[in-house]
Structure 1
């Protein structure tokens, strides 16, 4: 047996990172020092990448993987160092939220150790070692740390799901709610640039004020194409009746420019009047609005 083992070639491995951004853009980077092509798909020589350990265990639990993205070595030429996404340097793009909720698939490509230094080395096979979504980002000008939670996080739900409460237990637009999101969506364009905080911009929507509160706005064109944010406040009117504004909970990665197209979906505050008047869907309302309020008896 030892003689047989000694005849087998020593294997090496290279990490392959596949990031899918919220807008659908796919980034494939290799953790090695050269591009890797497998069955017509190429993982390019991307930024500097360093990751933590992955674990394999018996049972179901949420695993977390830390991936650090950092500046490329200084000995690379300027063209190789100038990695940008949507016209923004990569680290700045991440810092502004461009990788928020992006998905990662980490694969390990196996090859003979003797071939690792060769150009276009033959790959013996690949193994998916981790999948998940980017949950947190933090860093500075030189590096960004991505905290990625495994897909088993989706199993972290409340049991039992049915709760006796005044508000509806459905999620807006899900199968239990039954409201068609596309039928309620409205397309429009920004008619003013965002403010300095990138959380407010003017709109041309004609719906009544508050119609999109707690809803979602997603840009279709411009620097923020594919980026979604929860609507904090949808106002109509204002000073002189000319201020129509959408305010979101979190800033957009990039400034909103006049003419940027977006789609907006109305939100729901889970109350029976909203379900009835805004969505005409009270037949599917699953709240218990007549549950007595908690009281203290003296």
Structure 2
């Protein structure tokens, strides 16, 4: 493989099984069951590789195109954690190739019709915290395998059409079923159809209005505003406190926190007539 015949090729596999291939060569290449297209769907900077367990550092850059990596796909998280492989290949004979990087896509940013995605090497999981966290509040996420709460019941989830919204952050809803005040604070809002389908936001405020109406405010506006009539799903919020787990969800048996653990100020503060023990 010489410098004159060297090309680079990238393949990306999403969690749903979709695979895309790109190359910086001017013609299509095919190997490993993937067709690598010579367009602007993806390019990548030179990879900085180290020995040992150091994480490889690189960045993928691409254009947002309808038939490859679209803006809505990025915003809805469909490319989060997608696996990526990169080769150096002889474009005259693709059997002459070398795998130079294997990892996944990390943080993605968007600007001016393009995206940038951090490339994370195979050693990246070693940077993640391991083991149990000891904290008064629950470490599980509502509805996950540790929490074991089923969220399909009407008590926890409601689907409604958007009547109005401001900056894709504050949503006005009418015909709202009867729920306690602040029931959805800390929960999630997901768009079910329309141009903003699959986008999610964390709920900051849930305010009841007269006449079965509700105002839902997100911490941050959605990147694409839902249109009036688009359906959304609201999921009840959980503040991860033991009291909420017991009274709101009746799920204290699966609580993954330590509510009776003394706080740091109790451990550090001097006590009258003795020491903390």
Which bracket does the TM-score occupy, shorter chain normalised?
Answer: 0.7 to 0.9
1:51-200 to 2 correspondence within 5 Å?
51-69=44-62, 83-84=65-66, 93=71, 97=75, 102-109=80-87, 111-113=89-91, 115=92, 127=99, 129-137=101-109, 139=111, 141=112, 143-150=114-121, 152-163=123-134, 165-183=135-153, 186-196=157-167, 198-200=168-170
Q: Which has the higher helix share?
A: 1
Q: Which runs of 5+ in 1 are unaligned?
A: 1-8, 72-82, 116-120
Instruction: Kindly tell me the number of residue pairs found equivalent between the two proteins.
Output: 262
RMSD: 3.8
Contact 1:62 1:153 in 2 (8 A): yes
Q: Give the superposition deviation at 1:279.
A: 1.4
Q: Give the superposition deviation at 1:213.
A: 1.9
Q: Give the superposition deviation at 1:61.
A: 4.2
Change in Cα spacing, 1:172 to 1:236, as seen in structure 2 (3 Å) is same
1:274 aligns with 244
1:28 aligns with 2:1: no
> In structure 2, how many angstroms separate the alpha carbons of the residues matched to 1:257 and 1:64?
40
Change in Cα spacing, 1:199 to 1:102, as seen in structure 2 (3 Å) is same
Q: TM-score of the superposition, structure 1-length normalised?
A: 0.69
Change in Cα spacing, 1:224 to 1:29, as seen in structure 2 (3 Å) is farther
1:235 aligns with 207
**Mean CA deviation greater in 274-283 or 225-234:** 225-234
Change in Cα spacing, 1:108 to 1:158, as seen in structure 2 (3 Å) is closer
Contact 2:138 2:240 in 1 (8 A): yes
**Mean CA deviation greater in 146-155 or 210-219:** 146-155
Structure 1, residues 75-128: CA drift from partner, whole Å, max 9, x if none? xxxxxxxx3479xx96xx38x946686344333356534x2xxxxx75556747
Structure 1, residues 244-298: CA drift from partner, whole Å, max 9, x if none? 1222223212111122223333231111121012211112223333344424338
2:7 aligns with 13
Change in Cα spacing, 1:67 to 1:186, as seen in structure 2 (3 Å) is same
Q: The residue matched to 2:189 in structure 1 has which SS?
A: strand
> In structure 2, how many angstroms separate the alpha carbons of the residues matched to 1:39 and 1:157?
31
Contact 1:212 1:234 in 2 (8 A): yes
